Structure formats: C-alpha cells, structure tokens
Structure 1
Amino acid sequence: MMRAIRSAAAILAILLPSHSQAEIARIRGGEHDEFTRIVIEAASLGQWKLGKEGRGYAFRTEDLPDGYDLSKAFDKIPKSRIRSLWQDKETGALRMDIGCTCHAIAFEVRPGIVAIDVRNGPAPSGSEFERPFEPDDPVKGSQPSQYPAVPIIAAPVIRPPKVSPAAGVEQKPSYNWLEIAGFGLPSEPSVSDEDASDEVRFLLNPLRDSLLRQISLGIVEGVVVPGALAELPAAAKSPLAEAPGVRIANGEMPGIRAGTDRSPGPNLTADGKPCLPDHMTDIGAWLPDQAPLTALSNLRTNLLTEFDQPVVEKVLEAARVNIALGFGAEARQILTLLPVEEAAQRPALYDLSYLVDLEPGPRGAFSGMESCDSYAALWAILALATAGSERSATAPDTAAVTRSFSALSQDLRRHLAPVLVSYFMAQGDETTARRLRDAVLRVPGPTGQQVQLMDAGIELATGNAYAAADIAEEVLADPGVSAAEAAILRAESAFGADRLVPPDLAAQLSALTAELRGTDGYSRIRRAEVLTLAMSGDFRAAFDHLPEAPDAVGDLWELASVAAPDEILLTEALKVSVPPRGKPKVNREVAQRLLRFGFAQEALHWLGPADGLEAEADRMLAAEAALAIRDARLAVRVLAGLAGTKADDLRARAAIQLGNANAAAAIFLASGDTRRALRAEFWAGDWSYIADQDAAGLSPAAAMVLSSSADGASEGMLARGTRLAGESETARDAIVELMQAVPGQFP
C-alpha cells in the first residue's frame, strides 16, 4: 500500500508543474501614431490588473511568472511615451514609467496575451485603470478595456494540440509568417520536422502552404518556370536543418524589395516601413476642374447634414482642395469638423496642411520617408526644411523629389521652391537645387521676388557672386516684403566678389535690423550689416556690432587684417582672448601686424599653439616672434625641418641668442653669406679666420693679435726701442683703420 502511494506521489510530481517550471513572460512593443502598445505573452497569465502608480502604471497577474523577458520590448518602439519597463522584485509587478501626457488602457486579446496601450492625452473620466495600484490587493478578475479591442494579428493563429508533459514535446506557438510583415505576434517554432511527433508535425503546414502559394504566384508572373517532374533528392543535412525556426519572406523584410514590372515590390523606407501611397500625397491630383473660387464655394455648401452632422467624404474633399490650392490654415479649419476618431486616422492630411504653409507638420507623418520613390519624398524633405533639420537620416530620393515638385501647381512651385532650394544648397546638393529652380523658372509669367532671390542664392553659393549682386540690386530697387533678404544677399555677394557696396546699403541694413530684432532672421541681417560697415571702411562700428553677429567673426577679421587702421586693429586684436580659427591666412596677417608694432607675445597667441603650426609661413613668423621675446629654444623648435635662406637666418640668430656664435657662423657660411659669417666669427673671437680673410681693417687687426713678439735677447736697447715704436705706429694705424671699417662691415 505504501509503495503504491509513493508511486502515485511520484507521478503527480511529474505531471504537476513546479515553481522551477514557471514560465518567463515575453514582452513585445509596437508603435502607432496615436498610441504605443506593449504585449505581454505567457502560457497562462490568469487574472490580472493594471493601476496607476506615481508617474506611470503597474501590472500584476494572479499567476506570477518567474520574470519578464524585456530584451525585445524596445526593439520597435521609441522611448517617447514609455520611458522604461522593469519588474519589482518585491511584489513581482511589471512597472512602467510614462514620459508624456498619456494614459494607459489594457485588454485581454485571448487567454495568455494581454495588451497595454499608452495613448495620447488625458485618461477618460472614470477610467478604472487610473485607480491607485495596491500590490497587496488580490487580483479578482480581468479588467475590461474601455476601448474596442483592436486585433493584434491579421490571421488566426494555429496552435498545436494540447500535449501532456509526459509526451516529452515542449509546447510552442505555431509558425506565423504574417509576423514578418508586421501583422502578428512573434512566433518561435523550435520543433524540427525530423524530431517532431505526429501530433506536432502539422505545425509546418502553414509554411508549406505559404511556399506553395508563393511558387504558384511566381509561375503566374513568369518568374518561376516549372521543370520536368522528377523524384526529388533527400533533404541535405546542414547546420541550418536543426535551427530553432525558419523564416521565408518575399519582400516583406526591411530593406528588401522584390517584384516584377507587372507586379512591383512594395515601396518601403530605409528602415522597412511602408511609404504613404500616392493617392494620399499627390496634391496636384486634388486640384478642382472649376475656377478655385467657384470650387471652394460649392465644397462648403455640403459639409454638414440637416442635423449638423459632418459628411466625412465632403469634409475630406474640401480639405484636400484647400491644400492643393495652398490654403493650409483653411484646410485645418475644415478638418476640425471631423469626428475625433476619424481625424486621428488622417495624420498625413493634417501635416500636409501645415507643410503648404511652410510650417513643420506636428504629427510627423512623413518621418523617414525622404528615401521613398513617391510623392512622400517631397513632403518628407519639406518637413525637414521647415523644421530646420540639418540633414536627413537617410539619403533622399532626389529624383522622386524633383519629379513630385514638377507635378505641383505653378503657384505652389513658386511658393515652396525657396525653402526647398535653400535646404538642398545647405546640404551641398547643387544639382537638385538647380533642377528645382529650373522647374520654377519654366513657369510662364513673372516669377516674383522670392523666386528671384532664390535664384540669387544659388548663383552666390555656386561662386557667381556678380550675378547674385545684379539680381539683389534689381529686387532692392522695389523691395517690398523681400527687402531684408535682398539686402542680405547684396551684402553677401559683395563680400564674395569685389567687396564694393552701395553707399546707402549700410543705412538700409541698419533700419531693417531694428525691424527684425527678436526674429529668427535677426542674426543673418546683423551679420550683413557688420560686413557692409567693414566693406564701407567703418571698422569701428563693425566691431561694435560684432557681439550680435557671431557668424561674422572670421569674415570681419579677414577684412580688418588687410584694411583696418592700425589703431583699431591693435585695439581689437589685443582684446581677443580666443582668436578665430578656420582661416590661418587671416590669423597670420593679424600676427604680422602685431609683430610689426612690437607685440610679439600677442602675435604668437594669434598664430596658435606652436606645436600645431603646419604652414611654413606661420612657422617662420612664430620663430621671428619667439626671437623677439628672446625665446631662442622655441624658435629652434618651430624651425625644425625648414630649409632656405630665411630659415637659416632665423636659426643662426637663435644660435647667437643661445651664445653659440661659432654655430651661427657655420650656418652663415653654409648658406654662402660670408659677410654675416665674418661678423659671427668676430663675436666668437676667431682671429685666425678673420686674419685669413681680406677684410679691410679687420684682417690686419686680427693679424696683430696673432703675431708673437720677437725675441729681444739679441737686440740692443736702441734696436728694441726702434722696433716697439714702429709696432706702436702700426697698431695705431690698424686701430684707426679698424674703427673706420667696422661701421661699414657691421651696419
């Protein structure tokens, strides 16, 4: 009897799941325009609850899993709505930190799968998910969703039959090829066909069905040609045969496009998202056949029914026509008539209403679509340009941009061209900028001042400053609202050409600067004023305004280094704590003028660190300044590797400062400068060398120093006196000759 009880207990221990067999709940995320979705999946979650906690929410289930697998939670979602996810070790709850003005709802898709949506805006009144989360409260039941449950997958999921643990086969979700296209939950088929039991073998049927459908479609399209019927060989053994799962895609994966001329592949962004179709972005096709005023009047008559209920199709049609005509604000006003749920499905239409007004789209409907081969590329680039973005994340499809731009109406082309052209010029894409400009200039009739100034900007950026100046002068003759831009282009074109400005341009810019103070264009017009003042010769006023035009620092010093009066240049240069970089020639000019007036240390400061000097002219100037402050070692260091007469001269001067006149003489002799070598030898006291030279005054005096007195032992007193008198007379003559020769030898 006891043996039977022990056997039964052993069987129950095998059949009943233990704590060590508890499942890890998997977490997946998905991003949508209006909400971010978190999906929690486990074999059995049991009863669950979601509640408010601090800045976020907390989720807890009746059957607590061993843990939550968060490794792929943020693979497909940003951290804009959900900042972080973590499991509380004490209570086992899944906690969520919210980083926006959002609210969360939850619903059960099916047993074992719970979805949590973090939606924009405040929570609806009475939401049960806003109740404070109490970890100790018992989980009494699943909380119902306050919104209709949105299906997570687009096809029924095939689940394997229930298999007892004793069968030895681990139960896994079925193969789901729809997940590859982004429509379903991830699946993990890990049972190989060879090792699976008869009950589980059917899991590969969806894969086989999918392959047969795709092969059949390929035969119809002419891509696949069926061969003769023959017995297929046995499947080859390879490491992939026992892989955890198999995924086969025909163009659905990010970055892959497969198709034929009759059935082109999907139009995808660089990160694999679908591009918006042309019927949603081709606003040229929305233009009415009637006169614009008549069409707008007719469209406004049927927007509402007799009970003031909006007619969705009529509202959308009216908004599209307004956008096509360039009336973005009016289109947004009409779109306010849509019900909230209907309006939420039109982010592209809302963004287009802003973009035609040259304002950034708030909903980001075209984000990342600059690489699309469709109209969406044009609007994605315009969104970047209006938002002030410096560069797109992916390479734009410029062919699609120019093609889509040419399809716009004449008025919209003139309206949008300046912004688009400026954006591409800033990116260095002159080819696309010129194509867009040409598409505008082909339009019959007057182009308008904005287009003229756009053309001037292209000419200036491509090096034709004189043509840009002529266009700017023409606009300035009758400026209107374009006065500021025309004056800026006139100043910039003068700086890029002959640097001659009209006498009244500085006064015009001063008046416009006062008008634009506090606007986005203030720094540009202040820069133009600073440059104009400098080119007019008023460097004092130019430097006074420089703090408000930081972009003009380098260019102003370029003008001042060659044309500013000495007193102004010295005053301003000595005040600069960090000299401008990027224009070594300008810094060299300023340093030369400083050194000329004796400011050697300041000249070195303008040249920059001595070890970083590369240009030969900069190194020569630095060595000269170092010698001026008697830092001979610095001079020798910066001259290392330089050759030439000037470098040798500076190197010899450094040797003399270091007390090595012999080395200086050797340098002079090597360079062939015998005159300076003679002077160095004189300083070194090398009388033998000087005596051998034919130097008037110097050589006789050196010879006298070297001559030894004759032995006077055999001389009589009278002979010795006569000799000394003669030597004295010779020495006196030599000294007189030496004194006369030195000024000529060493001026």
Structure 2
Amino acid sequence: MRGIFATFCLTMALTGMASGAEINVRSGAHPTFARIVLDVPEGTNWTVQQGASGARVTIDNHADGFDISNVFDRIDQTYVEAVEADATTLDVKFGCRCLAQVYPSGPNMIVVDVAETDQPFQDDQPVISTTALQFVGDQQLQFSQPGAISDPTDLPAPMAVPELDLARNVTPSPLPAQIIEPQYEDQSDSLNMAQQKLAEHIGLAATTGILRANRQWESIPDRLQRPQIDTRVFDVPAPAETVDPSNELLNGNLRISTSRDVSDAAMNTLATSTSSGARCIDPSEVQVQNWEGPAGFAASIAALRRELFSEFDTLEAMTAVELARTYLHYGFGAEAQQVLLMSPKLASENRALVDIARIMEFGFSGQDSYLANFVDCDSDVALWAILSIENLQPTATIDSSAAIRALSGLPIHLRHFLAPNLSKKLLVYGDQDAAAAALRGLERTSEPLPSAGELVKADIELATGDVEAARTRLEGIVASNDQQSAEALIRYVDTHLEAEQDIEEDIATLVEAYAIEMRNDPLGEELQRTHVLALAKSGQFDAAFHAMTDGHANSDVQVTDTLFSSATVLLARNADDATFLEHAFAAMTARSDRMSVRALMHLAARLTRLGFYTEAEELFSTRPDMPATKEYRVLRATVSLGLEKPREAMAFLGRLDGEEPDRLRARAREMSGDYEVAHELYGTLGDDDGQRQTAWLSEDWQRLLETNEPVLGAAVDVASSNLDLSTDVEGMLGRTQDALEESGQARDAIQQLLQVNDFLGEN
C-alpha cells in the first residue's frame, strides 16, 4: 500500500508540471469523421467543453500553446471548419451539425473525433461531451446484473452513463488514473463502478485496435447461451509462443489481444499511414523477391499443383497462395490470377496478390485497385501501389523514392519488365528525375536496355527538350522491329509534326504497313491517325484525306474531327494553292462547324491571303462561338477591309495595340475618307508611301506634302507659286519669261503625275 501511495504522489507531482513546449496537433481523415490528435506529456490533465458550434479542449498547467500548422494537411473542412488555439486551450470549430467524442489514447495522446449527429442543441447551449467510447459491433457492450437470469432472450438494457456535474459545465479527463479506495458497504455499487471502468477500458481497446471483432462467431451454434465476455481473458496471458485454440470459441464475438501479441516490427509497420489516413499494409504482402520456389520454377510449380486440392477435392488455401506467389515471382500474372480466383474467399483475403497479378498481366490493376490506396507508403508497397494505377494524376501524393528502392530489390527479370512501366508512370506524373532513376538501375547491368525502356528514355529526352537524341533513339527502336517499334514510329512522326519538319514518303508507307497489320490492336487507331498525318506532312494531301475518310468511317466522331482538324492545319500551311483550294472548299462544306478553332483560323487566314474574303467570312459565320482573341479580331478586320467594310473593321480592332492593328486601322481610316488621321497613323508606322498617298488625297495636301517629295513635290511647288500679273511695261519680258518657265514646270509636273497613275490609283 505504501508503494502504491508513493506512485500516486509521484504521478500527481508530474501532472502538476507545465509541459514546457508547444503541444503538437495532428489530424487524420476517415470516411465518416475527422480526427484531431494532441500529443501531450504523460499524466496530463485536461477538460473538454462543447456546444453546437464547436468544442474547446483545455490543458491544465499548460501555457505554451499548440502547434496547429499541420492540422489541415490530411483533412478537409467537411467536419472541422477551423482550429484555433491560445496558450492553454484548443478550439475546434465544427463544419457541420457535429458532435465531438474526446478520449485518451495511450498515455501521451488525446483524441478528438468529430462526426455528424442528430442530437438536438437548444439555443446553442453547451453540451457536455462524455468520455464514453465507441464500441465495435452492432450492439453496445452489456453486462448481466446480479441475480439476473441467464436466459439469452432476457438481456438487460445498455448501461447508462453516470450523470455529470452540469454546474461545472466540463468533463474531467480520466487521466491520470487515481486509486480510490472503495468506501461503499453495498457490494452492488462497487460492481457498478467496476463495470463502468471495464467498459471504458474495453472501449479504449476497441478504438485503438487491440480489441477487434471475431468474424467467425456465426459458426458457433450456442453463442447466445454463453456470456459475452469470458472472465478467463483477464488472467495473466500465456506466452506469445503458446496459443490456446479454444479461446476463439470461448470468447464469443470478441478476440482479445495485448501488446505482447504484436511484434515490434509489426507495431512499426502498423504505425505508418498514408496522407489520407489509411494504414499501410505489411510490406511482406508484396515482397515478390522473397517468393522464389525452393526447387526452381518447374519443380516448385509441379509440387504445389499436386497439393492444391485435398483428397476430398477441397481447395487448400495456403497452398494456393504459395502457388500464386511462386507464379508472381517469375512474372506469370495470368496464371497467378487464375489460381487466386478459384475461390471468392481466397481472392478477397489476398487482394494485394490479385492486384500484383493484374499488374504483371495488364500493366495496371484496374479501377477497383486495392493497392492504389497506398501510393505514399514508405515501403515496398509504394512500388506496386503506383504500378496499380493506370493513369497516375499529377495531384496525387506518392513516395517515388520508396518505389525506386523497392524496384532495385527485385530480380533482374522482373526489373526488365517493371522498370519501364514505373518510369513511364512517373514521367506522366511529372517527376522526370524519378523516371530517369527508375531506368538507371537497368542501364548499369550487363544486359542491354529493353526496347520498352529505350522508348521511355526517348520520352524523357523529349520532355527535357533533347529532341535530336530522342529522334535518334526512336529510329533505333523502329529499326529493331520489336514490339515497341510501332509506338516508337508514332513518336517519331509526332516529333516532326511538332518541329514542323517534313517527313519522307517511305515513313508514311511504313506507318501504313503497321496500321494495316495492327488494325485490330488497341494501338491500331493511333497508327491510323499517324498514317494520315504522315501522308499530309509528306505532301500527299490527296492520299491523306482519302485515307482519313476510308480508315475512320466507323470510328468515334470526336477522334475523326480532331484528326481532320490536324490535317487541315497541315493543308493550310504546306499545300500549293490549287490543292489547298480543292480540299478547303470541301472542308468548309463538310466539317466547318466541328473543326477546331486552330484549324479554322489557319483555313480562314489562307483564304484571306488568296483574296477569298467572302468565303472566309462565311467560314466564320458557321462558328459564332469563336474566342475573341487578338489573332481572331485582326483576321476578321482584314476580311472586313477586303470586303470594303472599314467601319466593321474598326469595330473588330477596338483598342488593340501593336503594329499590325495600327496598320489595319490606318487602312480603314483611309478607306473611309479620313485621310489626315490615316496620314498620321502611317507616319507613326514609318510608312512613307502610305503617308504620301493619304496626304495627296487629303484636302489639305499642300500642307501635308513637302516640296522635296518625289513626283508630288513638284506639284506642291507649282501650286504654291505666285504669278506676277503686273501690267507695267517695265520688266514685261522678264515676267513673260518667268511665266513660260513656270508653265513648263507645271506641264512637267502634270506629266509625271500621269505617269505614276499606278501610285495614285484611280485618284
């Protein structure tokens, strides 16, 4: 007793000390609630107070605040809208009609679970949150009252929660545990207290995972005639090496375990979780490198298949799992999947193996992937989780370093198959360094890089801008006539399209051969697209549009329209005038309303350059949804000027800045007769010819033109000269001679004006 009292005093003394540092606040996301966890020193006292809008947790003897910087790293604001803190209290603001359950988890954590509730709140008055914990199962834990009958149909009602002191408006924390000597003479009160404490600790065990439901209780015919809890489980547990097989039956629907039942390595594994709150699985479930058959592939498979069924034709589950793992070690995904799917129960209990089998067979697991939940686990699980996803989104949180470490630990035959797939997914994800690192392990081996790896490496070079190196590598893959040659040929053509470089006709012929050979392959549609573009890029536009019409007659409309738009862009850029006009008018008739904006702009620009302003305007009229970009408005203004609609052109130009809009604006002013403004605009642009022409056409042309201007300067000089009309006899001969000279100059000026009629136009 003296030792117990000393321990109690020491606990109380430690509890009274201040923590001396900020309390770290963490979070975890769950499907039906959000969890807030406070990392507190052992023996911390705390109280909780909550109302309809939130809950407040107060830490006794703590004045150093809380670190809430990482609270919303893993949860959204569905259940918790905000978290605020001061020196001693933490306020959790609800994001819904919620209720908080606050309880300790071990000696160093306080857990706040926020979930939706239908409990009514009156006038936003504080509601006291008890420390009652959630239980596992469909029913609350129940106890038999003293003197109650053992008839299972006459079960007592669930235990009521003791009344709280509403005057204090708080709930005291059950930490630290205090030793209270029983002062009751009535043994029933002592039993009630023991039951209450037992319920709290069993609830804590259920919440933290030590106590879990036994899913085999259905097979026990007399489970209702037995008590819900076997009192023998409270005895000193047996050593971990000895397990009583009868415990599972005697425990009914509960399975009790202690920390002795879980090894340290397993505890470390279970403590690791993903950013979404999911607990990472044991890495041993995916360590394919450890599943090699003891006697080699053939002997091991033969032995396991002989033992796959018992003498009563019953599937041996453990043997099936070992057989599937052996298949997976050697890369036989289809065979492993066939074994696992022999029993629905076997497949459901080994979902990780099913996913790995699908990865080896198809390159990914599918939409119902189980491993896809663990892409950011810091273990071998990350490798298979990333590979299980067909299209890895750039917004996902992954652990690429762990995946590359796991890849390096695989046998070389699996690395040759999986490394290019992992590298490709990491490249699509946006991590070029990790994608290159995934292939680097293969490059260091004595064996050459497989074609799939070379193809991914070419993609990495294209992503980093090294187009020439990528093109050389793609040429080598195409020449190898390997499984990846067709895909490499597609990449090769695409690099020429992006660089706007011509393609030889024999390349288009090679693509056509692959397209015919693989017309029923998933890559066949892409090869047909590449064939059409290769024909167009090599200048064979008649063949390109013919192949597109024949090869894609039954394909998806969106794909066909996209391909037609790409071919139309090449037509507008590279075709001669006659070929362009032949296919352009056909395109306007057939697909102008479904053509891409880029293709329509190229088509209209080429028509405008050739003087087909009416056709260009009709083309625009079929697409009223065109975005009003600067390029579009400038092109529409050009078409309007070609149709002699200067005011419409001014409306399209608006307040656009730049040399081209100013030049069009000057032409519009000139066309509308505002020559003086046009003269100023041409002067700003440095266009001397336009400046002279608008000056000559202006009514104030004598002021706007200089006398030293070629051609027009002489006219200005003649027009500005003053004849001496004096009748005085003195000097008449001189005046007559001057008049004759001026007459000759005027005649020369008029003659020059007539000779430059092309310059002046009809004016």
Query: Is the TM value for this pair above 0.5?
Result: yes
For residue 569 of structure 1, what is the aligned residue in structure 2? 580
Segments of structure 1 that go 5 or more residues without pairing to the other structure are 1-27, 32-69, 74-86, 88-106, 113-143, 145-156, 178-197, 215-258
Q: Which whole-Å CA distance do the structure 2 matches of 1:355 and 1:415 have between them?
A: 11
Residues 174 and 203, structure 1, Cα contact 8 Å, conserved in 2: no
The one-letter code matched in structure 1 to 2:355 is D
Structure 2 residue 362 is matched with structure 1 residue 349:
no
Give a deviation string over 1:197-242, Cα, whole Å, max 9, x none. x98996799489979xx9xxxxxxxxxxxxxxxxxxxxxxxxxxxx
Q: Which residues in structure 2 correspond to 1:256-405 (within 5 Å)? A: 266-338=271-343, 340-358=344-362, 359-361=364-366, 363-385=368-390, 389=391, 391=393, 394-405=396-407
* Pair 1:642 & 2:657 matched: yes
More moved, 434-443 vs 201-210: 201-210
1:292-329 residue CA offsets vs partner (Å, 9 max, x unmatched): 11221222222233222333222211111112211122
| Structure 1 equivalent of residue 475 of structure 2 | 473
Query: Does the 8 A contact of 1:366 with 1:380 survive in 2?
Result: yes
2:695 equivalent to 1:681 = yes
Say if 1:539 and 1:620 are closer, same or farther in 2 by CA, change over 3 A.
same
Structural mapping, 1:281-680, within 5 Å? 281-338=286-343, 340-358=344-362, 359-361=364-366, 363-385=368-390, 389=391, 391=393, 394-495=396-497, 499=501, 501=503, 503-546=505-548, 548=552, 550=560, 552=563, 556=567, 559-574=570-585, 575-576=587-588, 577=592, 592-600=605-613, 612-614=628-630, 623-636=637-650, 638=653, 640=655, 642=657, 649-668=663-682, 676-680=690-694
Name which of 139, 143, 166 aligns with 1:109: 139
Name the CA distance, whole Å, in 2 between partners of 1:593 and 1:544: 22
> Deviation string for 1:5-45 (max 9, x for gaps)?
xxxxxxxxxxxxxxxxxxxxxxx9989xxxxxxxxxxxxxx
* Contact kept in structure 2, 1:696 and 1:741, CA below 8 Å: no
Rounded to whole Å, the distance in 2 between the matches of 1:262 and 1:109 is: 29
Partner of 2:752: 740
Q: What's the CA shift for 1:415?
A: 1.8
- Local SS of the residue matching 1:394: coil
State the distance in 2 between where 1:500 and 1:736 align. 56
d(CA) in 1 for partners of 2:342, 2:299: 21
1:30-87 residue CA offsets vs partner (Å, 9 max, x unmatched): 89xxxxxxxxxxxxxxxxxxxxxxxxxxxxxxxxxxxxxx9789xxxxxxxxxxxxx9
Verify the 8 A CA contact 1:160 1:174 in the aligned structure 2. no
Q: CA deviation at 1:266?
A: 1.5
Deviation per CA, 1:612-655, whole angstroms, max 9, x where unpaired? 3346xx776654443222232354452745355x6654433221
Give the match for residue 556 of structure 2.
none
Deviation of residue 598 (structure 1)? Answer: 0.2
Shift in Å at residue 271 of structure 1?
1.9
Deviates more, 1:314-323 or 1:299-308: 299-308
Alignment of 1:10-25 (within 5 A): none
Find the aligned partners of 2:708 and 2:505 in 1 and give their Cα distance. 65
1:347 and 1:363 in contact (8 A); partners too:
no
Partner amino acid, structure 2, of 1:629: L
Q: CA deviation at 1:538?
A: 1.1
Distance 1:108 1:726, change over 3 A: closer
| TM score, norm. by length of structure 1 | 0.58
Does the C-alpha gap of structure 1 residues 209 and 522 become closer, same or farther in structure 2, counting only changes over 3 Å?
Answer: closer
How far apart, in 2, do the equivalents of 1:304 and 1:174 lie? 59
Higher mean alpha-carbon deviation, 678-687 vs 701-710, is at 701-710
Distance 1:368 1:174, change over 3 A: farther
Find the aligned partners of 1:357 and 1:168 in 2 and give their Cα distance: 64
Read off the aligned partner of 1:348 and give its amino acid letter.
Answer: A
In 2: Cα distance, 1:702 partner to 1:392 partner: 71
Query: Cα distance, 1:502 vs. partner?
Result: 5.5
* Aligned partners of 2:340 and 2:346 also within 8 Å: no
Q: 2-side partners of 1:707 and 1:457: how far apart?
A: 77
Instruction: State the distance in 1 between where 2:705 and 2:315 align.
Output: 115
* Contact 2:331 2:360 survives alignment (8 Å): yes
Q: Which has the higher contact order (CA 8 A, sep 6+)?
A: 2
Tell me the CA shift for residue 527 of structure 1. 2.5
8 Å contact kept, 2:269–2:282: no
Mapped partners of 1:648, 1:381: distance in 2: 55
Q: Assess if the C-alpha contact under 8 Å between 2:630 and 2:656 holds in 1.
A: no
- Greater alpha carbon shift after TM alignment, 319-328 vs 573-582: 573-582
Contact 1:691/1:703 (<8 A) preserved: no
Change beyond 3 A, Cα 1:347–1:745? same
Report the Cα offset of residue 439 of structure 1: 2.4
Tell me, in whole angstroms, the C-alpha distance in 2 between the residues paired with 1:454 and 1:697.
68
* Structure 2 residues not aligned, in runs of 5+: 1-29, 34-95, 100-117, 119-136, 143-152, 176-191, 209-263, 553-558
Shift in CA distance, 440/269, structure 1 to aligned 2, threshold 3 Å: same
Contact 1:501 1:536 (8 Å CA) reproduced: yes
- CA gap of 1:279–1:668, structure 2 versus 1, over 3 A, is closer
Residue type of the partner of 2:310?
T
Secondary structure of 2:388's aligned partner: helix
Cα deviation 1:86-114 (Å, max 9, x = unaligned): x9xxxxxxxxxxxxxxxxxxx963599xx
2-side partners of 1:503 and 1:199: how far apart? 91
Residues in 1 aligned to 2:633 and 2:476: alpha-carbon distance in whole angstroms: 47
- Contact 1:371–1:396 (Cα < 8 Å) also in 2: yes
Q: Displacement of 1:597 after TM fit?
A: 0.9
Q: 1: distance between equivalents of 2:435 and 2:614? A: 48
SS class of match (1:309): coil
Kindly provide the CA deviation profile for residues 495-533 of structure 1, in whole angstroms up to 9, marking residues without a partner as x. Answer: 456845555332232122123334422232123212322
1:397 deviates by 0.9
The total of aligned residue pairs comes to: 528
> Residues of 2 paired with 1:30 and 1:666: CA distance?
72
Equivalent AA in structure 2 for residue 564 of structure 1: A
Whether the 8 Å contact between 2:462 and 2:470 is mirrored in structure 1 is yes
Tell me how far 1:399 sits from its aligned partner. Answer: 0.9
CA distance, structure 1, for counterparts of residue 200 and residue 610 of structure 2: 88
Q: Which amino acid aligns with 1:423?
A: K
- For 1:567 and 1:553, locate their aligned partners in 2 and report how far apart those are by CA, in whole Å: 19
Q: Distance in 2 between matches of 1:562 and 1:337?
A: 59
Q: Give TM-score scaled by structure 2 length.
A: 0.57
Separation in structure 2 between the aligned mates of residue 633 and residue 278 of structure 1, nearest angstrom:
74
**3-state SS in 2 of match to 1:367:** helix
Percent of aligned positions that are identical: 24
Partners in 2 of 1:686 and 1:361 — Cα distance? 79
Give the match's secondary structure for 1:326. coil
Note the 1:234-253 alignment, pairs <5 A: none
Task: Give 1:80-159 correspondences, 5 Å limit.
Answer: 109=139, 159=159
Q: Check conservation: 2:269, 2:281, Cα contact below 8 A.
A: no
Maintained 8 Å contact 1:697/1:734: no
